[in-house]
Structure 1
Amino acid sequence: MEKTIQEPATYQLVADLLKQGAEGDIFGCLTEGSFDLAKVALVKEKLSGITVQLLDGDGYAVRQVTSKRREKSVARQESLSDRQVKVVRALEKVLMHCKREGIQLIGYSDELVALPASVSEEEISAASAVDIDCYGSYRGADAIFDTDTD
């Protein structure tokens, strides 16, 4: 559900409104001040799954924050650190931008290439692909199963 934090906003008013929210709710702020108060309230009140957006004059979100609980599972600790998870989330945002801009990413064995999304599967060729410098962080599925050690 989308709700608007009305002005003038005080910490107590914002906190009370956010506490009434449920996971998945989105609260829109009309000023930078109420947005900052809402961010502080999310943390201090330990509210999770709530999104706060700073809205411009036309009602578009120009900034957004969503509160989340820190996972404490053993499996998570054995895999990626919190910082590494943040990097993965940033990569996901970049991939979302790729989709919006009409870019598709294709994995060719051990390299990653970019193509316009308008190129159909039948028309995909290495000649129209732009190589992406992955700095050694991308390995194709062939690399996992490759047992050759030359």
Structure 2
Amino acid sequence: MDTYLDKGSAYGEILAGIKSCDPDGSVCCTDEAVFNLGKVVLVKEKLAGITLQLVDEQGYAIRQVTSKKPSDDQPSDRHLSTRQAAVIRALEKVLMHCRKEGIKLVGYSDELVAMPVVVSSDDVSPAVALDIDTHGVYRGADSMIENDNG
């Protein structure tokens, strides 16, 4: 669950908000000054694994930072730029929201579809499965193998 900081929050209030944040959540604020001070808190307190977001009135993230230790490079991050790794983390957060809202994503041949969790795997059909526009980013593993062999 996300933690929201009030406008004009001071250093101690931001630190308390960060420490009370759910491990899967983010620390959110709508005030740019609080966001900037939050980044200072993360660095000074050496708090790793915390995502701080500046959000607009509708709750959409405008800017986001995630703190990590200098030695926290994961093997999968080595081949990605910092920006690419941030996009992957954002995708993972979206997928976490899908789980919370009862949506499962299913690889359907070379397509990706979404459907409610309550639908049985045996009942996957176009009537209950919503095609996801993956913008050409998602490809089924079978199609990748077929293209490499053919």
Question: Deviation at 1:69?
Answer: 2.0
Q: Give the TM-score, by structure 2 length.
A: 0.60
Question: Deviation at 1:76?
Answer: 3.7
Q: Where does 1:31-46 land on structure 2 (aligned, <5 Å)?
A: 37-43=37-43, 45=44
Question: Deviation at 1:108?
Answer: 1.1
**What is the match of residue 84 of structure 2?**
84
Unmatched 5+ residue regions in structure 1?
Answer: 1-7, 19-23, 54-62
Q: Give the TM-score, by structure 1 length.
A: 0.60
Question: Deviation at 1:103?
Answer: 1.2
Unmatched 5+ residue regions in structure 2?
Answer: 1-8, 22-26, 53-60
Q: Does the aligned pair in 1 maintain the 2:47–2:67 contact within 8 Å? A: yes
1:121 aligns with 2:121: yes
- What secondary structure does 2:127 align onto? helix
**Residues 140 and 46 of structure 1: CA distance in aligned 2, closer, same or farther (over 3 Å):** same
**What is the match of residue 143 of structure 2?**
143
**Residues 74 and 41 of structure 1: CA distance in aligned 2, closer, same or farther (over 3 Å):** same
**What is the match of residue 110 of structure 2?**
110
Question: Deviation at 1:116?
Answer: 1.1
**Residues 46 and 136 of structure 1: CA distance in aligned 2, closer, same or farther (over 3 Å):** same
Q: Cα RMSD over matched residues?
A: 4.0
**What is the match of residue 47 of structure 2?**
48
Q: Does the aligned pair in 2 maintain the 1:26–1:50 contact within 8 Å? A: no
Q: Percent identity?
A: 48
Larger radius of gyration: 1
- What secondary structure does 2:83 align onto? helix
Letter in 2 for 1:105: L
**Residues 65 and 134 of structure 1: CA distance in aligned 2, closer, same or farther (over 3 Å):** closer
Q: Does the aligned pair in 2 maintain the 1:98–1:104 contact within 8 Å? A: yes
